[in-house]
Amino acid sequence: MDSLVQWFTVTLGPYVSKEALIFIISMLPILELRGGLLAASLLKIQYLTALPLCVLGNVIPIPFILLFLRRIFALLKKTKLLRPLVEKMEGRAMGKSDRIQEYEFFGLLLFVGIPLPGTGAWTGAMIASLLQLDIKKSSIAILLGVGLAAIIMSFVSYGVLANLLG
């Protein structure tokens, strides 16, 4: 993730502000809030400035994923070229769906909130959409999960615990 953050910083840095950069990074799949907060820390952006930008950037795509993903996937599956890619993405997402299916709200919250590779708001929203979970409950679970991830990543990226204790 470090190298991706560095690439975005070098590539987009001359064209956008540091704050816009972390907002954009937080909107992207794979990087999401984790990458945004890490980039903010590396760019020396104040924590209280970075946190709302990264959270907002991470949650903006979620309603669109929840509302439109199944329709978009259905359209893309009609093309010979994109069908294998969509089926691969669906397979990967559904392969991670066991705990979410079992525990629904709390499973989705923890899936999004605990920053492990392959988890996060994008994948959580994709799974919720593919499982046809209730949109309101999914949205709340994902939002709370992003909050949990923000707390965890704040400790990791900014050493908040060290600052509180020291």
Q: Can you say how many angstroms the Cα of residue 106 is from the centroid of all Cα atoms in its chain?
A: 17
What's the pLDDT score for residue 13?
A: 81
- Same domain? 52 vs 103: no
Hunting for tokens 């949990």 — which residue is that? 148
Q: Residue 160 in contact with residue 98, Cβ under 8 Å? A: no
- Same domain? 87 vs 17: no
Residues 19, 20, 21, 24: what is their CA dihedral angle, to the nearest 10 degrees? 130
Query: Tens digits of per-residue pLDDT, 122-157?
Result: 999 999 999 999 999 999 999 999 999 999 999 888
* Res. 87: pLDDT tops 60: yes
- Same domain? 40 vs 110: no
* Res. 161: pLDDT tops 80: no
Q: For residues 7 and 145, which has the higher predicted lDDT (pLDDT)?
A: 145
- Same domain? 70 vs 139: yes
Instruction: Supply 112's token pair.
Output: 């999004």
Say what the pTM is.
Answer: 0.89
- Same domain? 41 vs 117: no
Rg over CA atoms, the chain: 16
Confirm whether 42 is domain-assigned.
Answer: yes
* Res. 105: pLDDT tops 90: yes
State the residue range of the domain holding 48. Answer: 2-59
